[in-house]
Amino acid sequence: MEHALLDLANAYIDSTNALVFLTGKAGTGKTTFLRQIRQTSTKKLAVVAPTGVAAINAGGMTIHSMFQLPFGPLLPGLAEGPENKYDPEKRELLQTLELLIIDEISMVRPDVLDQIDMILRNLRGNTFPFGGIQLLMIGDLAQLSPIIRMEEWPLLRPYYDSPYFFSSQVLRKHTFVRIELETVYRQSDPVFVKILNAIRDQEISESALEILNTRHIPDFIPGTDQPFITLSTHNRMVQELNAERLGALDGDEISYRAVVRGEFPADAFPTDTMLKLKVGAQVMFVKNDSSAEKRYYNGKIGSVTRLETDTVYVTSPNGQELAVQAVEWTNIKYELTGDTVSEDNAGSFAQIPLKHAWAITVHKSQGLTFDRAIIDVSEAFTHGQAYVALSRCRSLEGLVLRSPVTMRNVIADPAVLRFNAQTVHLSANRQTLVQHQEEYRLFLLSELFNFSTWKEHVLKFKELMPNAETEILSVAEKMSAALAMYSDERIRKASNYFKEKLELMTAALQPGLPGLVGTSRELAADADQLLQWIIDRCALLEQFSSATFSTSVYLETRRKSTKLSNSLLKKLNARPNEELLEQLMNWRERTAQSENILGSMLFTEQTIALVAAKLPQTLKSLSGIKGVGPEKTNRYGAAILTMIRAYEEQRNGATEQVRLF
């Protein structure tokens, strides 16, 4: 059954653009599915999450960083979207995305989801939800809920029934499918699984509570050979317990300082920037071992046995001693490289992958698994806390309760119960898959004849393309409402019509033609962008001017057409000073390697290309290039200008000295 659900989920991602809510109990493999999709999907995708820690764990960006959203309430119709403030790279990235994955969706507010929807529709000139991008929402509503300050909810209440994502206006207007994973892999004891399910469904019985409370052991003190971790609902209690237990240990305290480079938000730091340890300290790994040996995993607990300058030795419960050195976490940002949405490194955090493990907050335990845990939910103050805490444990035997669990501690949220009851009919199956595959085919057909995204570009070159608005834009707009009724023959005729009209315009936009001589660099760049778009679209239209339209052929042709247009544009408009550009790129890689960082963290390829194109002659002019700035000019300016001077001398025999001031 579970394999069938996973196959269904994969099919939905591969062959539809339906909105999908993937949910399931704790430990059912939601995170594993996310990792698989990131590795195998052919769609251009990005992963976002509501918090810094969740984003780092998911291998993506925070929602607010990706979409440059302000914090605080985003009122529908009143909150100004940032899409007009995006730089060209961000706009092109969001216009190119095909799949947006939001992890830990249970913590996303409805106004945030509506804002994303509005931004993507506006940027892509597309009235479909999220501008036609497929949205995959992953999470469990029985777990942690959105954080909304007391003063914020009165502002949002007139627009939303609840603080959850499912109350967003976009999801109330548009259908989504629900796929719920059912097999629990974390726990194998059917009694414990049944208790957890009852808490998750907010239907815990007195008899189930009695069984659970057999694990209440008053004044329990774990032995030194028993690595129990305490889960508490309050951060203050966690900090006090960890500090108290560390201070009680004999021996010297050694500190390990993290190295933070580039952009890495403090709320996403996976452990302390100054990690203080002693021999005997109980610690928890905060990262999976990436080596082939897989010696440790995120959440594994052990005890410090030796401390060296750059190495911490940790003994696990089975007696194995592990030598642990600093590892690196990366803060991902997404960039469009050619026709590929690629992950770039905006910053990094390097530290010993350990943190004190006598105690942890319930909030930070989400996603972790423990063999032994002491849990105190007597002061649970919000929906989901008790379930998250208890479901971290592998077994009932490995669980110790500080206080008995009562009905009062299992905090219910009627909005979640109503949503679960109301969305049973939205469960995906093979029949709904066929329906959504056909809807995706019609969506792609509408995309083929959608020219609204480049309307503003066409108007900039109205003198060069005087008939574009009437012969292409207006005709396409009139067609859109009737596309679902088009026969194969009519699609072929429409494809041929638009292909011929677009081909007439390519000559007007080719670099170096009289119509573009003397234009600004910005306008020339717009011409390049429009030309690439036209060439892409012509390749698609040519395919369907003689062949039957289908989803698979469209997607394959679109991928190939982008590569063809890139190749053609490169010939039409080769980047200036290619030889210098190559020298600068080689220098960047050598310098980055010597400083033990990624080349993109030193200078992006776009910045290096700008330097090669502009050939700055002074430090001041170099500093003014986007992506360089004063600090990098001070460090690397002399080396860069020296390469420029050598290149110019070789090219034209120039003898003028490069001016450093």
Write the CATH number for 590. Answer: 1.10.150.80
Predicted confidence band of residue 321 (pLDDT cuts 50, 70, 90): very high
Domain shared by 140 and 8, yes or no: yes
Residues in the chain: 661
Compute the distance between CA of residue 204 and CA of residue 365 in angstroms, rounded to an integer.
Answer: 23
Mean pLDDT value across residues 361-368: 84
Kindly report the number of other CB atoms within 10 A of residue 594's CB atom. 8
Domain shared by 194 and 324, yes or no: yes
Predicted confidence band of residue 658 (pLDDT cuts 50, 70, 90): very low
- Domain containing residue 125: CATH number: 3.40.50.300
Compute the distance between CA of residue 521 and CA of residue 524 in angstroms, rounded to an integer.
Answer: 5
Domain shared by 148 and 213, yes or no: no
- pLDDT computed for residue 248 by the predictor: 93
Pick the more confident residue, 307 or 577. Answer: 307
Q: Which domain-ending residue is among 517, 544, 573?
A: 573
Mean pLDDT value across residues 278-302: 89
> How open is the CA angle 230-62-416, to the nearest 5 degrees?
65
Domain shared by 177 and 194, yes or no: no
Residue 229 near residue 372, CB atoms below 8 Å = yes
Domain shared by 305 and 453, yes or no: no
402 in a structural domain: yes
Question: Is the confidence at residue 564, as pLDDT, over 70?
Answer: no
Q: Which domain-ending residue is among 134, 160, 183?
A: 183
Q: Which domain-ending residue is among 183, 206, 241?
A: 183
User: How many domains, in total, are found in the chain?
Assistant: 4
38 in a structural domain: yes
Compute the distance between CA of residue 211 and CA of residue 206 in angstroms, rounded to an integer.
Answer: 9
98 in a structural domain: yes
- pLDDT computed for residue 520 by the predictor: 55
Radius of gyration of the chain from Cα atoms? 29
420 in a structural domain: no
- pLDDT computed for residue 560 by the predictor: 74
Q: Domain range for residue 528? A: 436-573
Domain shared by 209 and 310, yes or no: yes
Domain shared by 273 and 314, yes or no: yes
> How open is the CA angle 513-93-563, to the nearest 5 degrees?
55
Domain shared by 361 and 457, yes or no: no
- pLDDT computed for residue 383 by the predictor: 80
- pLDDT computed for residue 427 by the predictor: 94
Mean pLDDT value across residues 439-466: 82
For residue range 337-360, what is the model confidence (pLDDT) as tens digits? Answer: 766 777 888 889 999 999 999 999
Q: Which of 246-260, 297-311, 361-375 has the lowest mean pLDDT?
A: 361-375
- The set of residues, in sequence order, having a beta carbon less than 8 Å from that of 481 and lying 6+ positions away, is none
Compute the distance between CA of residue 413 and CA of residue 384 in angstroms, rounded to an integer.
Answer: 9
229 in a structural domain: yes
Domain shared by 442 and 558, yes or no: yes
Residue entry with tokens 């194995």: 320
From the list 127, 165, 132, 160, the residue with the least C-alpha distance to 146 is 165
- pLDDT computed for residue 239 by the predictor: 92
Compute the distance between CA of residue 654 and CA of residue 647 in angstroms, rounded to an integer.
Answer: 9
Question: Is the confidence at residue 49, as pLDDT, over 70?
Answer: yes
- pLDDT computed for residue 359 by the predictor: 94
Kindly report the number of other CB atoms within 10 A of residue 582's CB atom. 12
- pLDDT computed for residue 436 by the predictor: 96
Mean pLDDT value across residues 107-128: 92
Domain shared by 197 and 165, yes or no: no
For residue range 252-280, what is the model confidence (pLDDT) as tens digits? Answer: 999 999 999 998 988 889 999 999 999 99
State the sign of the Cα–Cα–Cα–Cα dihedral 360, 362, 365, 370. positive
Residue 359 near residue 238, CB atoms below 8 Å = yes
- pLDDT computed for residue 568 by the predictor: 46
Predicted confidence band of residue 290 (pLDDT cuts 50, 70, 90): confident
Domain shared by 82 and 215, yes or no: no
For residue range 373-417, what is the model confidence (pLDDT) as tens digits? Answer: 999 888 777 788 888 899 999 999 999 999 999 888 887 788 998
Question: Using CA atoms in the order 435, 437, 443, 449, what is the torsion angle rounded to 10 degrees?
Answer: -120
Beta strands in 50-110 (DSSP E): 61-62, 99-103
Q: Which two tokens stand for residue 304?
A: 């410090």
Percent of the chain with pLDDT over 70: 91
Residue 453 near residue 476, CB atoms below 8 Å = no
Strand partners, 336: 341
- pLDDT computed for residue 509 by the predictor: 65
- The set of residues, in sequence order, having a beta carbon less than 8 Å from that of 275 and lying 6+ positions away, is 255, 256, 257, 258, 351, 352, 354, 355
- pLDDT computed for residue 578 by the predictor: 79
For residue range 10-46, what is the model confidence (pLDDT) as tens digits? Answer: 999 999 999 999 999 888 889 889 999 998 998 999 9
520 in a structural domain: yes
For residue range 172-181, what is the model confidence (pLDDT) as tens digits? Answer: 999 999 999 9
Q: What 8-state DSSP symbol labels residue 297?
A: -
